[in-house]
C-alpha cells in the first residue's frame, strides 16, 4: 500500500498491538529501536556533458539506520483462519 509510517508513530502502534508479536520482549525491543531512530544518508551526484551532446546525470543515495531490515508478526491472513507468522520488511 502507499501507507507510510514515521518511526515514532509505528512504535506507538506496535506498543498498542503487542498481541501480534511472538512475545512482549520482542515487541518492546522493536518499540525501543523505533523510538530511538537514527539514520545517516550518503548522497552522490554526478553530472557530465560532452561536446558531442552526450549527457550523464547520476544520483545515488544510501541510507543506513538502526532499524532492523525486517521483523515478524503473528496474524491471521484470512478472517476466521488461524494466525500465521509473517515477515515484514522495512524499506527506508
Predicted confidence (pLDDT) per residue in 51-67, tens digit: 888 999 999 999 898 98
- Can you list the pairs that 38-44 forms with residues at least 24 positions away whose Cβ atoms lie under 8 Å? 38/65, 38/66, 39/63, 39/64, 39/65, 39/66, 39/67, 39/92, 40/64, 40/65
Element (H, E) at 40: strand 39-49
What confidence score (pLDDT) does residue 5 get?
A: 85
**Domain encompassing residue 61:** 7-89
> pTM value?
0.69
Asked, for residue 33, whether it belongs to a domain, the answer is yes
Looking at the domain assignment, is residue 21 inside a domain?
Answer: yes
Answer whether residue 43 is part of any domain.
yes
What domain count does the chain have?
A: 1
Residue 1 has pLDDT above 80, yes or no: no
CB 14 within 8 A of CB 27: yes
Q: Is residue 1 a part of any domain in this protein?
A: no
Q: Is residue 2 part of a domain?
A: no
Q: What is residue 90's predicted lDDT score, i.e. its pLDDT?
A: 84
Residue 79 maps to a domain: yes
- Residue range 73-87, pLDDT digits in tens: 999 999 999 999 999
What is the per-residue pLDDT for 92?
64
Amino acid at each position: 500500500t502507499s501507507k507510510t509510517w514515521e518511526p515514532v508513530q509505528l512504535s506507538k502502534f506496535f506498543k498498542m498491538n503487542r498481541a501480534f508479536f511472538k512475545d512482549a520482549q520482542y515487541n518492546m525491543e522493536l518499540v525501543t529501536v523505533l523510538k530511538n531512530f537514527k539514520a545517516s544518508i550518503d548522497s552522490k551526484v554526478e553530472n557530465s556533458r560532452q561536446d558531442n551532446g552526450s549527457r550523464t546525470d547520476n544520483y545515488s543515495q544510501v541510507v543506513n539506520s538502526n532499524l532492523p531490515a525486517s521483523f515478524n508478526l503473528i496474524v491471521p491472513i484470512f478472517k476466521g483462519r488461524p494466525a500465521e507468522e509473517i515477515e515484514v520488511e522495512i524499506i527506508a
